[in-house]
Amino acid sequence: ISGITQSSEVTRELAIDMNNTGNGTAYYANTTINCTSGIVCTSVLYYGNITRETNVTNTTDVIIPAGAAAGDYTITLLSKWSNPDGTLGQKTKYISVTVTQNPILDISEGTEELTVQQGQANSTNITLNATGNTAIQSINLTCETTECTDLGITFTPSNISSLSAGSSQIINVSSTVPLGYTPNTYLLTINATGSLDSDTATLNLIIPPNKTWARTPSSFASKYVGEGSTGNVGTIIITNHGNENLAFTAAAVGNISSYVELNSSSFTINKQTSGVINVDYNASAGGYYEGNISLRSTGASPEEMNVSFAMDVTAFEVSIISPTQASPLNVTGGGNATIYATAAYGGATLTSGITWSANIGSSSCSALNSSYSSIWILVCTAPSIQDGTYYNLELIGNYTSTGTITTDTESNAIYYPDVTAPAFVNVSAHPITQGQAENITINATDLGTGISRVWLEISFANGTNATYYLNQYNGLYNLTFADTSAWEIGDYDIIVYANDTTNNTGNTTAWFDVYFPVIFSGYAINYAGEAVNSSFILYRPNTSSIIHNITANRTTGFYNQSIHGRFYDISFLPLDYEFRYYSVNISESVYNPFLMDNPRPGAVPMAFPVGYNIIAVKRPPLIVFA
């Protein structure tokens, strides 16, 4: 019998035939049916009288009820009758019934809905049922859709060791949605997988749109400025806290609108980011002005917010007399900058009561001292900024009795002479063999007046020197020697010079060598043939310039590299040791130039004779030469 569940039973018809094979009639024939506990049978079937050599069949239903456990059951048939001579006859028969396993794991909710706001967590429940007639072991809950990890899907409990037949378990399904996660309905597949069966359900996870935003500040401090002055009111920071990009418009409203300038009137701020609006004023006419900077995003929450601002424009004005664009002031960083200016309020000259400040370009001219002698004389320390450039001069006056601030700006009134030599980004010269072309490339820059010329001096291996002037092509300076077949083997040192249009000169050095190739090879192994972790660093003598860095194979100890045939300083690094060799001439191919081993017990330390030109360095183990 198969297919038993907690809600469905199985009924089977049982036909019981009594066949009289004797010589007389069987009177009052009947069969008593006894079933093992767990299945249901009719108790007695009556056949009446059965004459000889005839048979009678009766039927009954055997019911395997819903939830019947898997296993073996027995039906016992006891048939009885009376013989013609008055004696009783009987016969017993047994029927075996096997109820097979029917493991069914079911998630009651085929589809479950859960709404989670961005940046928050929420949960719902699903129910696991063992609806068959067999326990389900080792049940694991997983979420299989791509977005499951992003949406922080978790299950409590996430695994169940055993769920007995007919029992259920409530599972809490939780989601934590990150800030800014795109609004949508995400169809997530939930799997419940056990030892004998599995089931799936769909979680409709709804992330609603969020269009909230904020701005700071809510208002700007009131300004008291002089007529004709310009300046900065401040910046408005707009933060999109939602999960959709928001389009904004910005405008000044009120009677202040004609005197306020915004750097942007329409813009988009991406979700979970901030944008900045810069607000400047232009006090072109005297009066008291107030209003708002209106920020609006249709469909957002809220749709509109304001930043309030008021400005009192009075007849306070300052004017730069010197320096001017026609007669600029030359100054260097850290030097004194002297400014001559006038100040008036309502047309009357002001000789005191003013606090001054000045900017050269966007940098403050610090430590400003002021005095008045028929004109305002202001002296400040020029900032250290890029030379070879003209800068605007901004003068700010604060009339302290009214708190009114006004400015005057003179374009290109300050000049920083070019006093910085050109810089070298890169000098490229490559080692060559005799006859190969040598191309020297120089990348030099000057942020001031620009480079006038570039030249270099080469010290040849034969002891001669030569000077070459270079032309610029595609922003680089190049010098090519197409044929070097007559050049000697050895080192070639270069000094590169660059001169700008104001005669500032910078220099740097480089080198290359003309060489013949040799092979540097061998095995870094110990006496037992085992690879020793080793490397060889070959330097240009008496310098830190690395020509070759060779590492032996960690498995075999083998190394093999083509190197320049020349003198080297060599650092040999086996294991945790370092040996330094100076002025080593490798003029031909070498094989196993270094042999190594760990000291053997009883080895006697050996001092190198003078002139071996070897220095041993402990790195940290003690070195013993054997």
Please identify which residue in the block is written with the tokens 């108790």: 43
* CA dist., res. 432 & res. 485, Å (int): 11
Nearest to 578 by CA among 535, 515, 527, 525: 535
Q: CB neighbours of 498 closer than 8 A, spacing ≥ 6?
A: 421, 422, 424, 442, 444, 446, 451, 453, 454, 505, 506, 507
* 374's tokens: 């028929």
What is 105-207's CATH number, 3.40.50.1370, 2.60.40.10, 3.40.50.2000, 3.40.50.970? 2.60.40.10
Rounded-to-integer distance, Cα 371 and Cα 380, Å: 12
**Contact between residue 313 and residue 287 where contact means Cβ atoms under 8 Å apart:** yes
CB 451 within 8 A of CB 422: yes
Q: Strand ranges (DSSP E) for 524-598?
A: 534-539, 546-551, 558-564, 566-574, 578-586, 590-591
* In the chain, where the domains are located: 10-99, 105-207, 213-314, 316-416, 423-514, 516-617
Return the structure tokens found at 138. Answer: 């080792």
Is the Cβ–Cβ distance between 403 and 354 less than 8 Å? no
Please give the helix or strand (H or E) that residue 456 lies within, else none: strand 451-459
Q: What is the pLDDT of residue 598?
A: 57
| Nearest Cα residue to 76 out of 44, 54, 47, 50 | 44
| CA angle (253, 255, 258) in 5-degree steps | 80
**Helix (H, G, I), strand (E, B), or coil: what is residue 592?**
coil
**Residues in CB range of 40: below 8 A, 6 or more apart:** 62, 63, 64, 65
DSSP per-residue string spanning 128-179: EEE-SSS-EEEEEEEE-SGGGTTTT-EEESSEEEEE-TT-EEEEEEEEEPPT
Reading phi first (left if > 0) and then psi (alpha if -120 to 50, else beta), residue 291 is in left
Helix (H/G/I), strand (E/B), else coil: 257: helix
The closest alpha carbon to 522, from 598, 596, 581, 593, belongs to 593
Nearest of 274, 259, 360 to residue 310 by alpha carbon: 259
The CATH class, in words, for 213-314 is mainly beta
Q: How is residue 94 written in tokens?
A: 């047994």
| Strands 423-428, 451-459: pairing kind | unpaired
Q: What is the pTM of this model?
A: 0.58
Whether the CA torsion 163, 168, 169, 174 is positive or negative: it is: positive
Give the model's pLDDT for residue 600: 53
Short-list 262, 203, 210, CA closest to 236: 262
Closest CA to 307 of 238, 258, 395: 238
CB-based contacts of 361-367 (< 8 A; 24+ apart in sequence): 361/385, 361/391, 361/392, 361/414, 365/337
User: Would the CA dihedral through 108, 113, 117, 118 be positive or negative?
Assistant: positive
516-617 has CATH 2.60.40 classification: yes
Residue ranges in the chain whose pLDDT is less than 50: 604-626
Work out the end-to-end distance of the chain between its first and last CA atoms, rounded to an integer number of angstroms.
Answer: 87
Q: Tell me whether domains 105-207 and 213-314 share a fold.
A: yes
Fold designation for 423-514: Immunoglobulin-like (2.60.40)
| Main-chain dihedrals φ then ψ at residue 214, nearest 5 degrees | -145, 160
Question: How many Cα atoms within 13 Å fall on the side-chain side of residue 106?
Answer: 18
Q: Quick one: tokens of 39? A: 């299945």
Provide the token pair at 102: 């029917």
> CB under 8 Å to 536, separation ≥6 — which residues?
520, 548, 549, 550, 551, 559, 570, 571, 572, 573, 594
How many other CB atoms sit within 10 Å of the CB of residue 529?
Answer: 9
**Using an 8 Å Cβ cutoff, are 174 and 154 in contact?**
yes
Q: How far apart are CA 318 and CA 396, in angstroms?
A: 8
What string of H, E and C letters represents the secondary structure of 280-299?
A: EEECCCCEEEEEEEEEECCC
Q: What 3-state class would DSSP assign to 258?
A: helix
CA dist 237 to 18, 179, 198, 212, Å? 99, 19, 53, 14
Q: What is the CATH number of domain 10-99?
A: 2.60.40.1670
Longest dimension (CA), the chain: 160
Q: Kindly write down the DSSP assignment for every residue of 115-128, as one continuous string.
A: E--TT-EEEEEEEE
Yes or no: say if 278 and 220 are a contact pair by the CB < 8 Å rule: no
Class for the domain spanning 316-416? mainly beta
The conformation of residue 459, written as its DSSP 8-state character, comes to: E
* Distance in angstroms (rounded) separating the CA atoms of residues 407 and 595: 80
Distances in whole angstroms, Cα of residue 573 to Cα of each of 476, 495, 551, 576: 40, 34, 9, 7
